[in-house]
Amino acid sequence: MRWVLDASVAVRWYLPSETDPRAQEILARLLENPLVFAVPELFAFEVFAVLCRVHAEPVRTYREGVVPLLQGGMYRQPMTERLALVAGEYLSAGLSGYDACYASLARDLGATWLTFDGKAHRLISEHGVSHCLAEGLPPGW
């Protein structure tokens, strides 16, 4: 199984007020087997932006915490025409442009998008490409 990581998962690794055991379990698996994880390129920008808003040391945390993960073997998908075309279907379901890219990548890879965004998950739940971590880890995790 492949997994697409949402920025809402990663920020929980670095913000003490947002710590979540499910996010920590995902981080452990990412460190163990990065090749089964993927992110759209916007993931890096989203995580950095959140850290800049709320973390006391955003640049250091990004450099020491996020960059090694991004360079550790996880697949990083650039924004392509194909990704945009598929994302258009998820925009029609009500997702934001960012969230539509995560869902599109999950569909393209035959993966599951892991997110803490319950609203986004509910909007596309019938598509079978997302899992809301607020409800627990995915079946068979």
For the chain, give every domain's residue range.
Answer: 3-135
Give the Å distances, CA to CA, from 140 to 1, 91, 113, 121, 137: 10, 29, 15, 19, 8
* CA–CA–CA angle 115, 120, 123 (5° rounding): 135
State the number of CA atoms in the 13 A half-sphere of 137 facing the CB: 11
CB contact at 8 A, 18 and 11: yes
77 pLDDT higher than 90 = yes
pLDDT for position 18 = 85
Does the pTM surpass 0.85? The reply is yes
Q: What is the mean pLDDT of residues 108-126?
A: 97
Report the C-alpha gap between 39 and 5 in whole angstroms.
6
pLDDT for position 1 = 83
pLDDT for position 12 = 97
3-135 classified as CATH 3.30.230.10:
no
Q: What is the mean pLDDT of residues 13-34?
A: 94
